[in-house]
Amino acid sequence: MPLRVSNGWPFIVDDPQPAARTGIEVRVYDGQNPATLIDIVARSRDRTWLDHRSDIGRGEFMVHASDEVLERHPTLLQSGNIVRFRLDGIDRFAFVITRRERVRVSAGEHAGAWIKVSGPGVLALLHTALLYRIGNTLDGGITRGTDNQNAGNFLSIMFDQAQDRGCLGGVTRSFDADVDSNNHPWADIFAYHERAGTTLLTTAKRLAELAVDIGMSPQLVFNVWNSQGVDRSFQTADEAPIILREAHNINALEVAADGDIVNTLLIEGADEALWAERQNATSITTYGRREGFLSLTNEDSDTYITQAADATLDHHASDAEHLTLEILDVDDHRPYANFGLGDWVLAPNEAGQLARVRIGSITVSEDAHGNPKFTVEVGTVLAEIEERFMRWLRRVGDGTLGGTAAGISSI
Amino acid sequence: MAITVTAPEAAAWTFEANTAPRVSIEAGLGFARLEVNVGVNIADTQEGYARNEVNVGVDIADERLGTVRNEENVGVNLADDRNAYVRDEMGDVNTLTPTPHIWFVWPEHGRPGQEVTIVGHGFGATQVTHDDARALLNELEMGIISWAQVAGTADALNANRQIQRGPPHTVTPEHQEIQATVPPNAESGLIFVDHNDPDA
């Protein structure tokens, strides 16, 4: 008799633990051949990066203008090259060089001319590819997407077509039409449409605002998850819960409430018949009517418009609370090693009580001795939901108020 | 027809029915999924457990575990024995071998070598032999620490959960638990339990 097979249950294998604390290393890779290491910048300083869930983030470092590594490789810092930050032997973040500034430092041992190198995280590479017309030609239809699909189906097709046209060299993807980057089946089926001409980055971020989490690994693997991260707020057989506690591993705690409230949306669709108004009655009662204008002129599905607007308003009715925590470098509670972006951990809320929060961003800098310093931003369960839609509303809102049609990236 | 479901979080949703006679309720948040099927003849069972549930007068406190605790199956004709576990819950007409069905895995993440507990039904009381029963993560075989039948008393299980200090899972029916380890070189994916006919 053949074996009977059960249903599948999602499981996430955690990243390996770093072997030793070796600090931050800067490695520069060729932008044309992203797997090719050009050299290691051994004498850099002020190495800093912001790793943000489902967003681009940013990185920077400084190198002395007369450093021998620049003599060996005069084009080391040219735009387009990729810088990977390696923390304790494991690549944790990468950015694309887009800016070099000469900085003169006049005091102390660092006196002299320095070059400050900075740029956006490698997720920004998706900005270099567009959604093309259907059939990857100039004479196919101009609306991409269908009413019943998942994010992986849509993004994998658009990503593959972009690579067929020669874009995104060196970038791979870890998801497909069936499973996400954790090899888990896609959770959400929805209607989604974009007009040709939209960048892949804009598309991916918009999907991230509606349904999924996105990211790009330092090795340029494009990841899309149903949800990034795991729950580390519980004791398991092998590991203690991650608890960020004042007087233990939190050096500073800052609470910010984001009160950019909109409860009535006037929505512009692709044609006059698709103009719509959506409201959140509860919020209007509490805060009074606060109107916002939303341009979705690249959207011809009234289903999608209604879904997006209602979801926004449902979760945009009150202040969203965010906590910023400066983390001391304590064993078993280290960002990246013990928890990462999207993970759920325990941290004090505004009232000082421990609550489950989700890691939204990790900022890594270093002190005068070169030791890494960590700052994490977290959101509560409610704030987590609201943040997704806050990002969406702010972006389309900015685009509208600035006179730019939504769907055109501002990057 | 519309059905209102009150979720554990005290939020209420109203769901429109699909075409008669099949009525489906789905919260869409991944943890509160219900289906009510009345007078169903199901030819397609690719979604398995969720499509073959007849729930009448259900009071669900926690649907996270969900597929077998609150089933009252009346006049169900299952063409595919993948769903045979449903019949076990009926208390009668149990002619098919229960299909393995995972209710939950705890914890839901870990590194190679770490221990996870797979809780479910139809696994068989023991592993018997390697070829008869195994747990797989992403097609890699997991190391088996124990494979056991567990009596279905809620109190005992709750006490067990408290010892493990895991999530507040509550399992009332008789079930099986597998203690397994994450295989070396494993990648994230789905855990499956394969099992042969326990009576064979």
φ, ψ of residue A282 in degrees (nearest 5): -65, -45
pLDDT at A387 over 50: yes
Whether residues A3 and B107 touch (CB distance < 8 A) is answered with no
Distance CA A78, CA A172 (A): 23
pLDDT at A173 over 60: yes
| A41-48 contacts at long range (C-beta below 8 A, 24 or more positions apart) | A41/A67, A41/A69, A41/A76, A42/A69, A43/A67, A43/A69, A45/A110, A45/A114, A45/A366, A45/A370, A46/A116, A46/A365, A46/A366, A47/A85, A47/A364, A47/A365, A47/A366, A48/A363, A48/A364, A48/A365, A48/A366
Residue owning tokens 């993948």: B82
- DSSP code for A209: H
pLDDT band for position B48 (50/70/90)?
Answer: very low
pLDDT band for position A40 (50/70/90)?
Answer: very high
Look at residue A147 in the predicted model and tell me its pLDDT. 74
Closest chain A residue to B81, measured at CA: A4
> Chains A, B: CB contacts under 8 A, how many?
128
Look at residue A200 in the predicted model and tell me its pLDDT. 95
Whether residues B122 and A231 touch (CB distance < 8 A) is answered with no
| Residues whose CB falls within 8 Å of the CB of residue A281, separated by 6 or more in sequence, listed in order | none
Mean pLDDT of chain B: 57
Q: What is the mean pLDDT of residues B118-137?
A: 81
* DSSP class per residue in B124-150: -SS--STTTEEEEETTEEPEEEEEEEE
Q: What is the mean pLDDT of residues B159-179?
A: 55
Interface pTM (ipTM) of the complex?
A: 0.70
Closest chain A residue to B199, measured at CA: A1
Q: Which is more confident, A130 or A384?
A: A130
Look at residue A299 in the predicted model and tell me its pLDDT. 61
**Tens of pLDDT, residues A90-117:** 999 999 999 999 988 777 766 778 999 9
pTM: 0.71
Q: Which is more confident, A397 or A202?
A: A202
Most confidently modeled range among A231-240, A268-277, B68-77, B121-130: A231-240
Q: What is the mean pLDDT of residues A169-186?
A: 94
Look at residue B141 in the predicted model and tell me its pLDDT. 93
Look at residue A97 in the predicted model and tell me its pLDDT. 97
Nearest to B109 among A8, A188, A230 (CB): A230
pLDDT at A293 over 60: yes
CA A223, A228, A229, A234: dihedral to nearest 10 degrees?
-160
